[in-house]
Structure 1
Amino acid sequence: MPYRRFTRFLVASDGTRVAYHTHAGNAQEDEAESVLSSRPGVLLTNGIGTSENFWRHIVGDLEQDHRVVHWDYRGHGRSEVSARGDYALRVHVEDLERVTEQMMASGDGRPPHHVAFSMGVRVVLELYRRRPELVPAMTLIAGGPATPDPSAWFLKVPGGRGTVARSFQLLTPFVPLVAPVVHDLISSRLAYPFGRLTGLLRARAPRADIVELFKGLSRMDPRAFWMMMRGLMEAPPSWDVLPQVRVPTQLIAAKNDLMVPLREMEQLREGLPQAEWVLVEDAGHAGLVEAGTEIAEAVRTFRQACGVGPAYPTHAQ
């Protein structure tokens, strides 16, 4: 990783150890935690299967004058697989709640600005439903209240979400059989060209970042990934949360996103008309690395406009 961070763990109610990582920036290791504790907090919530390098541009921009934390879903990164095999959406919301509270307890007591990507958008929206006082501001990137949303797919599925959810349930026993084939594909040199050929990756998607993503996916427990997808399909969408939102909100959409199409993000925009809208040109679902600098600058500008973050790193002033 191009940045320094230290890792801590908290224990969920079912005994699962969940990892969270605090980025040290230019602080010395022996004094990092005390130096960072007084800085404004930003908490990053991943998409499913996303490796931490997807955050490198935002981290690189904010870590010099913010306390930046990202955390790992169960079965991702350094977090354990779910102790009871539970990967329902509410479980990830509960984990995020605990990480947020821990971040507040070891910092200045104030809740962090939540920045979420893809699946993480639903997790943060559900945290807002559950504990709105823990979410003082939101940046929602390439994800919506129903992500993944079958109604937004290019090929429509008869019966929509219900059909997909039942399919996930029926196919679950076959995951161990299919997993080796999928593992071989994402571990091969064909993965990046396949992404480019299908349009999932834009030409400016850095190969090294995508290779790191595939490495992370290959290390994941396949059942954890599958059950998370199944949990997302079985959970009702979070559209009804939108009218409740009363905090500064920023929406960042990628114009060429095939996984979360622009029309899905525009629907989210209609539900949050007060939110700041940022449309990133020539970027797909991997926009965090394809247009990382642009997105990082947008996040900082939004924080400054909301009065919750400085304009420039302190060392540059």
Structure 2
Amino acid sequence: MPYRRLTRFVTAPDGTRIAYHTHVGNAPEDEAEPEFATRQAVLLTNGIGTSENFWRYIVADLEQDHRVVHWDYRGHGRSELSTIGDYALRAHVDDLERITEQVMARGDGRPPHQVGFSMGVRVVLELYRRRPALVPAMTLIAGSPSTPDPTAWLLPLPGGQGTLARGLRTLTPLVPRAAPLVHQLLASRLAYPFGRASGLLRARAPRADIVEFLLALRRMDPQAFWMMMRGLVDAPPSWDVLPHVRVPTQLIAAKNDLLVPLREMERMRERIPAAEWVLVEDAGHAGLVEAGTEIAEAVRAFRQARGVGPAHPAQAT
């Protein structure tokens, strides 16, 4: 889905330029920035490898009366590859911290509502650990404070996280050689049917959105993707952050998610008992496009209920 947006960059201490995009809807581009600066901000943090079209329902709803910003991880979208090969979770938290500060500086000075999807859940939680003042409210969608337990997979991996981490390190030299084959599989007409047959995609997953996602994956540097996965597995889990959450929080879980099982998000619910709980039926890990309208409406309703956003564009001042 083509967006109308303004793209800017922040530069990390290692010199890597990180892109962030402010969605401007139908506003004239030369007038958009001053007009949107006074609006309440919502900052969207993606999952690993996820293309920006996963946000299209939330953007379409909120850009009418909010300042909606999404950003690209290192090696994603318009952000550069890391200049020093740093794709650790800590690096992404650093990048989100700088982008949040820029969003505040170019707006009304107030921190944005932080929305994280999949891997973005951990990034947002770690930002809250580090600087809670930058997270006045958060929505956590289909993500976990840790990587899924390999011993609970359909084919259990003996040794759990330790075995997985060692396996990723061992296979790293093979990534450049395996990348062409993976690209062929992603480009194959069988990719979407396989996703459906395996249960990773539900019947209502729009083929066009999944094709766009697969195209973005093919464009991504395979080494960057692999090192991000390693960074996720190597990082300590964020479960200890949850009992200290003191801001309005919304948890959105997909009932049929195979990558982040429902039980993971139910554990989060137990540790943040004041969080609003939303369970999306007939949706998997691609729930942002499978049940996009439902999730977008839930995010807006949460903002209204917690007094941090308008109920509907027609009622916005």
Aligned to 1:214: 214
| Cα displacement string for residues 28-80 of structure 1 (whole angstroms, at most 9, x for unaligned residues) | 11100000000000000000000000000000000010000000000000000
Aligned to 2:276: 276
Cα distance in 1, alignment partners of residues 172 and 30 from structure 2: 46
Q: How does 1:8-157 map to 2 (within 5 A)?
A: 8-157=8-157
Report deviation, 1:267. 1.0
Q: Which amino acid aligns with 2:37?
A: S
Q: How does 1:191-230 map to 2 (within 5 A)?
A: 191-230=191-230
Q: Which amino acid aligns with 1:160?
A: G
Aligned to 1:248: 248
Compared with structure 1, are the counterparts of its residues 151 and 274 closer, same or farther at alpha carbon in structure 2 (3 Å cutoff)?
Answer: farther
Paired residues of 1:249 and 1:275 also in contact (CA < 8 A): yes
Cα distance in 2, alignment partners of residues 42 and 268 from structure 1: 22
Compared with structure 1, are the counterparts of its residues 316 and 99 closer, same or farther at alpha carbon in structure 2 (3 Å cutoff)?
Answer: closer
Aligned to 2:5: 5
Cα distance in 2, alignment partners of residues 262 and 94 from structure 1: 29
Paired residues of 2:57 and 2:288 also in contact (CA < 8 A): yes
Q: Which amino acid aligns with 1:177?
A: R
Mapped pair 1:302 → 2:298: no
Cα distance in 2, alignment partners of residues 108 and 154 from structure 1: 48
Aligned to 2:264: 264
Paired residues of 1:118 and 1:147 also in contact (CA < 8 A): no
Cα distance in 2, alignment partners of residues 162 and 57 from structure 1: 38
Cα distance in 2, alignment partners of residues 156 and 245 from structure 1: 32
Cα distance in 2, alignment partners of residues 58 and 290 from structure 1: 12
Runs of 4+ in 1 over 3 A off after TM superposition: 314-317
Q: Which amino acid aligns with 2:57?
A: H
Report deviation, 1:153. 2.7
Local SS of the residue matching 2:277 = strand
| Cα displacement string for residues 244-278 of structure 1 (whole angstroms, at most 9, x for unaligned residues) | 11000000000000111111111111111110000
How many positions carry a matched residue from both structures?
317
Paired residues of 1:148 and 1:232 also in contact (CA < 8 A): no
Paired residues of 2:44 and 2:71 also in contact (CA < 8 A): yes
| Cα displacement string for residues 113-135 of structure 1 (whole angstroms, at most 9, x for unaligned residues) | 00110000000000000110000
Paired residues of 1:119 and 1:148 also in contact (CA < 8 A): no
Report deviation, 1:149. 3.9
Which consecutive residues of structure 2, in runs of 5 or more, have no partner in the other structure? none
Report deviation, 1:280. 0.2
Which consecutive residues of structure 1, in runs of 5 or more, have no partner in the other structure? none
Cα distance in 1, alignment partners of residues 154 and 113 from structure 2: 33
CA RMSD, aligned part only?
1.2
Aligned to 1:174: 174
Paired residues of 2:44 and 2:114 also in contact (CA < 8 A): yes
Q: Which amino acid aligns with 2:235?
A: A
TM-score, with length taken from structure 2:
0.98
Q: Which amino acid aligns with 2:92?
A: H
TM-score, with length taken from structure 1:
0.98
| Cα displacement string for residues 297-316 of structure 1 (whole angstroms, at most 9, x for unaligned residues) | 00000000110100001478
Paired residues of 2:41 and 2:67 also in contact (CA < 8 A): yes
Report deviation, 1:165. 0.7
Cα distance in 1, alignment partners of residues 143 and 14 from structure 2: 28
Identity %: 78
